[in-house]
Amino acid sequence: MKTRYRFGAALIFAMVTSLCSSIGMAQEAELDRTELPIKGPTYPPITTLDARDAKAPPVFEVKPPKGAPNVVIILLDDLGFGGASTFGGVIETPNIDELASHGLMYNQFHTTALCSPTRQALKTGRNHHSANQAKITEVATSFPGATGMLPNDVAGIGEILRLNGYSTGAFGKWHETAVWEISPSGPVARWPNYQGFDEFYGFMGGETNQWSPSVFQTRTRSKSRMTPTITS
* 115 is a catalytic site residue: yes
Q: Distance between alpha carbon 121 and the CA centroid of its chain, in Å?
A: 12
Under a CB-based contact definition with an 8 Å cutoff, are residues 134 and 149 in contact?
no
Classify residue 94 by burial, with Cβ atoms within 10 Å: 0-12, 13-18, 19+.
exposed
Give me the catalytic one of 20, 102, 110, 175.
Answer: 175
The residue annotated as part of the active site, out of 20, 102, 115, 128, is: 115
Beta bridge partners of 226: none
Q: At a CB cut-off of 8 Å and minimum separation 6, what does 159 contact?
A: 3, 4, 5, 6, 7, 36, 195, 196
Residues contacting residue 89 through CB under 8 Å, at least 6 positions apart: 80, 81, 82, 83
With 0-12 / 13-18 / 19 or more C-beta atoms within 10 angstroms meaning exposed / middle / buried, residue 56 is exposed
Phi-psi region of 215 (alpha: psi -120 to 50; beta: other; left: phi over 0): beta
Give the Å distances, CA to CA, from 94 to 69, 87, 91.
22, 12, 9
* Residues designated as active site: 115, 175
